Amino acid sequence: MRFRSYALAVLGLVLVGLLASGYAVFAKPDYDRLNFLQRFVVWGVLAKWVNQVQTLPEENRVLVDYDHLLGQLNFIEKKVAQQIFSINPRELGFQGPFHSLEKPDNLVKIMPQAYQQSGKEFSTDIQYCPAASYNDYLKMMARMRQDLGRELFIESGYRSPGYQAYAFFLYLVRNHDFSLRKTARLNAMPGYSEHQAPVNNALDFINADGINGDDPQTPEDFEKLPEYQWLLRHAHQFNFYLSYPRDNQWGVSFEPWHWHWEKPVSPRSIACKKQVERTIGDGSIDSGLKGEKVKRENVMAGEEVFFPSSPFDLLAQLSGRSRPMFRRNPDRTVTCDCPAVSPNPVSSAQ
């Protein structure tokens, strides 16, 4: 009798614990920092997505299907991911428009382009770009080479909704301490990135010396480039416009490397162009973000991904008492050490 009472008490505690855990996992997220259990689940989602994306051929990574990534998750992980992406980005401070979840049908494959950084040679990843904007990019670079003897490479072009979801979770965990609000300021949710626009798409640029404004660089490093100053004065002649000037109205940090193609030009781009012209005229390119290290939406192949080697390391990481899970690897390889999560097989459809 005593044993039965003890067993019922234990069972009751387990049920209460499960109910409390379920409530905590599926509760409305705190936009400033996810709760402990949500952080645990998000880490698991990212571990699976890292394995999945990095096992794809390089040319397929930025095209990865969103539903395919969701299919790698268990019930709880899928619900948490869907819950996060169902949040209206305006609640997180992002004021930009929705662009698209559809894949363009006229993408041009862009092969890797070599550049130097810290005395070593690297290359961009394979990228894709709609034909119209890519043709204008080529014309623009021909003119820049003629004027400056310099050029800019495409570091990031089109991204699928799946890749954008992967990038959002990566930076949510790695760079923004599980803060949805901070992440949305620098990394758009699927459908809201200009990189997903089927026509008026965005390109992120990097120069031949590896300057792209990404951590440990700052936006000012890119802003000082003669290539950037040339873009300010001439890019509109090739239908390219700076998307996010300083103090822009869309709640996005200053991104001097991020330019979108547009034809015919919209009122938004005209407003951006006028703002750029004002900054050129009075030199007041300053918004209080000076020195801020900006984390890019683009996930570079030169970043090695580290996950905790034990549950205890994971708990310490989630509670903020451990080293970062990610660090840059000089040889630009990408590995994932996550023994608690086995790699998922790549679908033949990919």
| Structure confidence by residue, pLDDT tens digits, 118-161 | 889 999 999 999 999 999 999 999 999 999 999 999 999 999 99
Burial of residue 181, with CB atoms counted within 10 A of its CB: 0-12 exposed, 13-18 middle, 19 or more buried: middle
Neighbour count for residue 142 (Cβ, 10 Å): 12
The answer to whether residue 12 sits within a structural domain is no
Q: Is residue 258 part of a domain?
A: yes
Q: Using one digit for the tens of pLDDT, what is the confidence trace for 70-114?
A: 999 999 999 999 999 999 999 999 999 999 998 888 899 999 999
What gap in Å lies between CA 119 and CA 8, rounded to an integer?
67
CB contact at 8 A, 204 and 258? yes
Write out pLDDT tens, residues 157-189: 999 999 999 999 999 999 899 999 999 988 999
Domain that holds residue 101: 27-337
CATH number at residue 243: 3.30.1380.10
Ramachandran angles phi, psi of 118, nearest 5°: 55, 40
Cβ atoms of 165 and 69 within 8 Å: the answer is yes
Q: Which residues are within 8 A (CB) of 312 and not within 5 positions of it... i.e. 6 or more apart?
A: none
20 within some domain: no
Domain count, the chain: 1
- CA pair distance 326, 317, nearest whole angstrom: 11
Q: What is the rounded CA–CA span in Å between residue 336 and residue 350?
A: 20
Whole-prediction pTM value?
Answer: 0.75
Within a domain: 46: yes
Task: Determine phi and psi for 260, rounding to 5 degrees.
Answer: -110, 150
Flag whether 184 is in a domain: yes
In a domain, 1, yes or no: no
Any domain includes 346: no
3 within domain boundaries:
no
Q: What pLDDT is attached to residue 142?
A: 98
H or E segment to which residue 182 belongs = helix 180-186
What distance in Å separates the CA atoms of residue 54 and residue 344, rounded to the nearest whole number? 11
- Please provide residue 293's backbone torsions phi and psi, each rounded to the nearest 5 degrees: -85, 115
